[in-house]
Structure 1
């Protein structure tokens, strides 16, 4: 019998964290973070990680699981997420996945089988050399020519993801996006998906304000501490939005004002790609959160839908 799992997803800045805490409390769930940067220890302000005070007694999984200098992949996430589901089930609770990393969501729902593609070390070394010599934008443009769907989800700083996508295309002759579509939807899970949305201008304003709050809360100081602890400048985590730009500020490449503007811009661009990604889930329930009352009504509806969902036998 497929296991029931619930997803609460949406773009950065839409208000997932506060709503997830209320929903988890109402349906007796435990939260599994679904954020590619919140897995890193010490990266709290720039990833908008819920504080210990905000979390309260609610159990959260997949926060602070690796050091900032470590590499962390979708395969790593999938394995830890499956483990979290087992632990939550032992506690007779409901797994509630919360975040905005669409690839992680797909890895679970489609039960991606990683490792099916042999690594071509020579090709990988060449692509890394190309990245060092020509820069991330050039390789991202190259990827856009052969796999525009995947390219639209990436930044020039996503070194490993860009190289992996090119590697898949050059090895198989098929774009990574097509390879994913060939994966069967997993029968392991019976999912209920809630997608949060805002009107574009409201979302962008929320993102701009959040970036300003992050700076006020100590984003620059958090970056400085991480670097003093020996955080590698070329690590996967260092390319994250809010960390890459502060690094440029430290190196004198941009002013503090320009740093803030770039974080806001890149965050808005990322949110736009997230919105596009989640639109593919036609079976999901979509909630628009433009006013405070929208949040209250959405929570009430989600609680009702979730309770009905959990009470019913799976139809799969």
Structure 2
């Protein structure tokens, strides 16, 4: 019988305090953190992704906590969930070889699930003529036209792909036109297989009014820290239509910098879109019945971290510092 590898995770909606709690948990469990955030993989996208600065990646007493899969690609470099799955699983193995516990932390549900569950990604070569035709359609009629076509032939893929992510929309339609089958079939959930890991997974949540207040405060703090300047610098180097720059925070501030709206309107839109993101994240993670949910009390974060660390240690039969 194959012995499963131990793996812990702290996931949940944005602004629930995952990063802060994870630092305490990692320190107590001798864990190394693997970010499961689809925007934190990009270099130069720091403020808008709430990326912890390197100096802050420390536990109680200033103990450094290694963080992985942050700042690994430029915003204009292709990066897929299959790439993330491969890198994350390699990182998990290297952490275990060092005698430490891998701890997934973040809010991107698909990235998390691609690691912990037996998703199989199948590769398929492209067709240059089909892709060129689809690109011409997008140029002529806009992303919305192609997105509506995708919703007809592969609603599951359309649900996963942002309407402004032209590259992935084109790829999904290309696969369908080549094979007659949806690209979502290439992301195959294999029910006959089990996860390769011995899991201890925690979800963080809080009452919605409290979460929404924290989101508004976080957005205001991002603006004060220089989010507008960060986005301005990125747009000076990269095309605003890149999938990376359609992330929440970058899309709205980018629209302001292009003169499409006033700053106050962009900030209000950013807060609304972040609330909607949190709701989608919670819906995604609620489907995973393995998660042990903890309601966050901001004034008892350290106490919660101790409880979560003890819970993980008990499930995985490991020692607590």
Say if 2:228 and 2:253, in contact at 8 Å, map to a contact too.
yes
CA RMSD of aligned residues (A): 2.3
1:9 match: 11
* Cα distance in structure 1, aligned partners of 2:132 and 2:194: 34
1:212 and 2:220 matched: yes
1:215-266 alpha-carbon deviations (Å, 9 max, x no partner): 11100111122233x2233322222211122221121111111111121122
Deviates more, 1:108-117 or 1:41-50: 108-117
The 5-angstrom pairing of residues 220-235 of structure 1 reads 220-228=228-236, 230-235=237-242
1:79 and 2:86 matched: yes
* Cα distance in structure 1, aligned partners of 2:197 and 2:173: 31
1:21 match: 23
CA drift of 1:21 comes to 0.9
Q: Please list every run of 5 or more consecutive structure 2 residues that lacks an aligned counterpart in the other structure.
A: 59-63
* Cα distance in structure 2, aligned partners of 1:271 and 1:154: 17
2:163 to 156, 159, 167: 156
CA drift of 1:200 comes to 2.5
Cα 1:182–1:156 shift into 2, 3 Å: same
1:60 match: 67
The TM-score, its normalising length taken from structure 2, stands at 0.87
* Cα distance in structure 2, aligned partners of 1:109 and 1:301: 23
The 5-angstrom pairing of residues 254-293 of structure 1 reads 254-289=261-296, 291-292=297-298
Say if 1:241 and 1:266, in contact at 8 Å, map to a contact too.
yes
1:86-137 alpha-carbon deviations (Å, 9 max, x no partner): 2211220000011111111222123433233342333333333333333333
The 5-angstrom pairing of residues 61-140 of structure 1 reads 61-140=68-147
Say if 1:288 and 1:294, in contact at 8 Å, map to a contact too.
no
Cα 1:128–1:110 shift into 2, 3 Å: farther
Say if 1:3 and 1:190, in contact at 8 Å, map to a contact too.
yes
1:50 to 37, 49, 52: 52
Say if 1:71 and 1:235, in contact at 8 Å, map to a contact too.
no
* Cα distance in structure 2, aligned partners of 1:191 and 1:173: 37
Say if 1:30 and 1:60, in contact at 8 Å, map to a contact too.
yes
* Cα distance in structure 1, aligned partners of 2:209 and 2:146: 31
CA drift of 1:39 comes to 0.8
